[in-house]
A and B are shown apart, each in its own frame.
Chain A
Amino acid sequence: NAGVTQTPKFQVLKTGQSMTLQCAQDMNHEYMSWYRQDPGMGLRLIHYSVGAGITDQGEVPNGYNVSRSTTEDFPLRLLSAAPSQTSVYFCASSYSGDTYGYTFGSGTRLTVV
Protein backbone atom coordinates (compact mmCIF):
# COMPACT_ATOMS: atom_id res chain seq x y z
CA ASN A 1 0.00 0.00 0.00
CA ALA A 2 1.26 3.46 -0.91
CA GLY A 3 -1.08 5.12 1.61
CA VAL A 4 -1.86 8.74 0.79
CA THR A 5 0.13 10.16 -2.12
CA GLN A 6 0.37 13.87 -2.83
CA THR A 7 1.87 15.51 -5.88
CA PRO A 8 3.72 17.73 -6.43
CA LYS A 9 5.91 18.02 -3.32
CA PHE A 10 6.94 21.59 -4.13
CA GLN A 11 5.40 24.25 -6.36
CA VAL A 12 5.98 27.91 -7.06
CA LEU A 13 3.14 29.84 -8.67
CA LYS A 14 2.73 33.38 -9.86
CA THR A 15 -0.19 35.40 -8.55
CA GLY A 16 -3.27 34.70 -10.63
CA GLN A 17 -2.17 31.30 -11.89
CA SER A 18 -4.29 28.24 -11.29
CA MET A 19 -3.20 24.74 -10.45
CA THR A 20 -4.38 21.43 -9.06
CA LEU A 21 -2.84 19.63 -6.12
CA GLN A 22 -3.29 15.91 -6.49
CA CYS A 23 -4.17 13.48 -3.72
CA ALA A 24 -4.71 9.75 -4.09
CA GLN A 25 -5.21 6.97 -1.54
CA ASP A 26 -5.24 3.22 -2.08
CA MET A 27 -6.82 2.17 1.22
CA ASN A 28 -10.46 2.40 0.08
CA HIS A 29 -11.05 5.15 2.63
CA GLU A 30 -14.38 6.91 2.54
CA TYR A 31 -13.32 10.14 4.18
CA MET A 32 -10.80 12.54 2.67
CA SER A 33 -9.80 16.05 3.66
CA TRP A 34 -7.52 18.89 2.69
CA TYR A 35 -5.72 20.98 5.30
CA ARG A 36 -3.37 23.89 5.13
CA GLN A 37 -0.63 24.28 7.71
CA ASP A 38 0.63 27.75 8.57
CA PRO A 39 3.04 28.79 11.35
CA GLY A 40 1.17 29.58 14.56
CA MET A 41 -2.16 28.55 13.02
CA GLY A 42 -1.95 24.78 13.21
CA LEU A 43 -3.87 22.86 10.57
CA ARG A 44 -7.02 24.34 9.16
CA LEU A 45 -9.59 22.36 7.19
CA ILE A 46 -10.17 23.59 3.63
CA HIS A 47 -12.59 21.02 2.18
CA TYR A 48 -13.60 17.50 3.01
CA SER A 49 -15.48 14.59 1.48
CA VAL A 50 -17.40 11.74 3.09
CA GLY A 51 -17.58 9.69 -0.10
CA ALA A 52 -17.45 9.82 -3.88
CA GLY A 53 -19.64 12.62 -5.19
CA ILE A 54 -20.00 14.29 -1.78
CA THR A 55 -17.92 17.27 -0.72
CA ASP A 56 -18.33 20.09 1.75
CA GLN A 57 -16.54 23.20 2.93
CA GLY A 58 -14.28 23.36 5.91
CA GLU A 59 -12.98 26.32 7.86
CA VAL A 60 -11.08 28.14 5.07
CA PRO A 61 -12.62 27.19 1.69
CA ASN A 62 -12.35 30.50 -0.17
CA GLY A 63 -10.15 30.35 -3.25
CA TYR A 64 -10.19 26.55 -3.40
CA ASN A 65 -12.34 24.05 -5.23
CA VAL A 66 -12.63 20.26 -4.88
CA SER A 67 -14.41 17.34 -6.49
CA ARG A 68 -14.56 13.64 -5.67
CA SER A 69 -15.41 11.58 -8.71
CA THR A 70 -13.76 8.40 -7.38
CA THR A 71 -13.10 6.98 -3.92
CA GLU A 72 -9.34 7.13 -4.54
CA ASP A 73 -8.81 10.71 -5.72
CA PHE A 74 -9.50 14.07 -4.12
CA PRO A 75 -7.82 16.91 -6.05
CA LEU A 76 -7.64 20.46 -4.71
CA ARG A 77 -7.84 23.28 -7.23
CA LEU A 78 -6.52 26.77 -6.67
CA LEU A 79 -8.61 28.96 -8.93
CA SER A 80 -6.47 32.12 -8.97
CA ALA A 81 -3.45 31.87 -6.71
CA ALA A 82 -2.76 34.63 -4.18
CA PRO A 83 0.26 35.15 -1.88
CA SER A 84 -2.02 34.40 1.10
CA GLN A 85 -2.26 30.85 -0.21
CA THR A 86 1.43 30.26 0.37
CA SER A 87 1.34 27.31 2.75
CA VAL A 88 1.95 23.62 3.20
CA TYR A 89 -1.03 21.57 2.09
CA PHE A 90 -1.83 18.17 3.52
CA CYS A 91 -4.30 15.65 2.24
CA ALA A 92 -5.66 13.04 4.66
CA SER A 93 -7.95 10.05 4.48
CA SER A 94 -9.75 7.80 6.91
CA TYR A 95 -11.89 4.69 6.85
CA SER A 96 -13.85 6.06 9.76
CA GLY A 97 -12.54 9.37 11.04
CA ASP A 98 -14.19 9.11 14.37
CA THR A 99 -12.54 5.95 15.49
CA TYR A 100 -9.40 5.30 13.50
CA GLY A 101 -8.07 8.76 12.87
CA TYR A 102 -6.72 10.06 9.61
CA THR A 103 -3.68 9.03 7.54
CA PHE A 104 -1.81 12.00 6.11
CA GLY A 105 0.10 12.53 2.91
CA SER A 106 3.61 13.98 2.89
CA GLY A 107 2.42 17.45 1.95
CA THR A 108 2.79 19.98 -0.86
CA ARG A 109 4.80 23.10 -0.13
CA LEU A 110 3.29 25.89 -2.22
CA THR A 111 4.75 29.34 -2.69
CA VAL A 112 2.80 32.05 -4.49
CA VAL A 113 4.90 35.01 -5.64
Chain B
Amino acid sequence: AQRVTQPEKLLSVFKGAPVELKCNYSYSGSPELFWYVQYSRQRLQLLLRHISRESIKGFTADLNKGETSFHLKKPFAQEEDSAMYYCALSGGSNYKLTFGKGTLLTVNP
Protein backbone atom coordinates (compact mmCIF):
# COMPACT_ATOMS: atom_id res chain seq x y z
CA ALA B 1 0.00 0.00 0.00
CA GLN B 2 1.14 3.53 -0.67
CA ARG B 3 0.60 6.35 1.78
CA VAL B 4 1.53 10.03 1.94
CA THR B 5 1.62 12.00 5.17
CA GLN B 6 1.69 15.77 5.41
CA PRO B 7 1.93 16.43 9.14
CA GLU B 8 0.99 20.12 9.04
CA LYS B 9 -2.55 21.12 8.06
CA LEU B 10 -1.70 24.79 8.37
CA LEU B 11 1.54 26.70 8.03
CA SER B 12 1.87 30.43 8.45
CA VAL B 13 5.03 32.43 7.74
CA PHE B 14 5.94 36.04 7.08
CA LYS B 15 6.98 37.34 3.70
CA GLY B 16 10.69 36.83 3.16
CA ALA B 17 10.98 34.01 5.68
CA PRO B 18 12.06 30.51 4.68
CA VAL B 19 9.35 27.92 4.33
CA GLU B 20 9.42 24.12 4.47
CA LEU B 21 6.37 21.96 3.84
CA LYS B 22 6.90 18.44 5.07
CA CYS B 23 5.97 15.26 3.25
CA ASN B 24 6.68 11.68 4.28
CA TYR B 25 5.73 8.63 2.29
CA SER B 26 5.34 4.91 2.65
CA TYR B 27 5.87 2.68 -0.35
CA SER B 28 7.65 -0.62 -0.75
CA GLY B 29 8.96 0.00 -4.26
CA SER B 30 10.62 2.92 -6.00
CA PRO B 31 8.17 5.83 -5.94
CA GLU B 32 7.65 8.83 -8.14
CA LEU B 33 6.91 11.91 -6.04
CA PHE B 34 5.22 15.16 -6.89
CA TRP B 35 4.15 18.43 -5.34
CA TYR B 36 0.89 19.97 -6.54
CA VAL B 37 -0.35 23.47 -5.71
CA GLN B 38 -3.93 24.71 -5.61
CA TYR B 39 -4.53 28.44 -5.47
CA SER B 40 -7.84 29.60 -4.07
CA ARG B 41 -10.71 27.73 -5.78
CA GLN B 42 -8.58 26.82 -8.80
CA ARG B 43 -7.53 23.55 -10.29
CA LEU B 44 -4.51 21.66 -9.02
CA GLN B 45 -1.31 22.43 -10.86
CA LEU B 46 1.82 20.34 -10.94
CA LEU B 47 4.58 22.24 -9.15
CA LEU B 48 7.48 19.80 -8.98
CA ARG B 49 8.44 16.29 -9.97
CA HIS B 50 11.28 14.68 -8.08
CA ILE B 51 12.57 13.02 -11.20
CA SER B 52 13.25 16.34 -12.91
CA ARG B 53 15.13 17.91 -9.97
CA GLU B 54 14.02 21.35 -11.10
CA SER B 55 13.22 24.56 -9.25
CA ILE B 56 9.84 26.12 -9.94
CA LYS B 57 8.84 29.55 -8.57
CA GLY B 58 11.84 29.27 -6.24
CA PHE B 59 10.65 25.98 -4.71
CA THR B 60 12.81 22.88 -4.52
CA ALA B 61 12.24 19.41 -3.15
CA ASP B 62 14.70 16.62 -2.57
CA LEU B 63 13.81 12.98 -2.29
CA ASN B 64 15.39 11.41 0.79
CA LYS B 65 14.88 7.67 0.48
CA GLY B 66 16.51 6.97 3.83
CA GLU B 67 14.02 9.17 5.66
CA THR B 68 11.24 8.50 3.09
CA SER B 69 10.67 12.22 2.79
CA PHE B 70 10.11 14.74 0.01
CA HIS B 71 9.96 18.10 1.76
CA LEU B 72 9.20 21.26 -0.23
CA LYS B 73 11.39 24.28 0.47
CA LYS B 74 11.66 27.91 -0.49
CA PRO B 75 14.25 30.26 1.00
CA PHE B 76 12.18 33.46 0.80
CA ALA B 77 8.39 33.14 0.85
CA GLN B 78 6.21 35.55 -1.14
CA GLU B 79 2.57 36.48 -0.52
CA GLU B 80 1.58 34.91 -3.82
CA ASP B 81 2.82 31.56 -2.51
CA SER B 82 -0.25 31.38 -0.28
CA ALA B 83 -2.09 28.25 -1.41
CA MET B 84 -2.87 24.65 -0.59
CA TYR B 85 0.04 22.31 -1.28
CA TYR B 86 -0.36 18.59 -1.84
CA CYS B 87 2.36 15.99 -1.87
CA ALA B 88 1.58 12.98 -4.07
CA LEU B 89 3.09 9.60 -4.80
CA SER B 90 2.79 7.37 -7.82
CA GLY B 91 4.07 3.83 -7.92
CA GLY B 92 3.55 0.47 -9.52
CA SER B 93 2.16 -0.50 -12.88
CA ASN B 94 -1.25 1.10 -12.41
CA TYR B 95 0.11 4.66 -12.02
CA LYS B 96 -2.35 5.54 -9.30
CA LEU B 97 -1.61 8.88 -7.69
CA THR B 98 -2.00 8.97 -3.91
CA PHE B 99 -2.26 12.37 -2.24
CA GLY B 100 -1.51 13.60 1.22
CA LYS B 101 -4.18 15.64 2.99
CA GLY B 102 -2.54 18.91 2.10
CA THR B 103 -0.93 21.84 3.87
CA LEU B 104 -2.48 25.29 3.66
CA LEU B 105 0.33 27.82 3.44
CA THR B 106 -0.36 31.42 4.37
CA VAL B 107 2.31 34.01 3.75
CA ASN B 108 1.65 37.15 5.76
CA PRO B 109 2.84 40.62 4.67
Contact = CB atoms under 8 A, between A and B. Distances in A.
Q: Chain A contact residues (Cβ within 8 angstroms of B): what range?
A: 20 to 34
Interface of A: 31, 33, 35, 40-45, 48, 50, 56, 58, 90, 92, 94, 96-107
Contacts of B36: 101, 104
Interface in B38-59: 42-46, 49, 51
Interface of B: 6, 9, 32, 34, 36, 42-46, 49, 51, 86, 88, 90-91, 94-102
Contacts, number: 63
B49 A102 contact: no
B101 A42 contact: yes
B90 A97 contact: yes
Q: Which of B36, B43, B45 has the most CB of A within 10 A?
A: B43
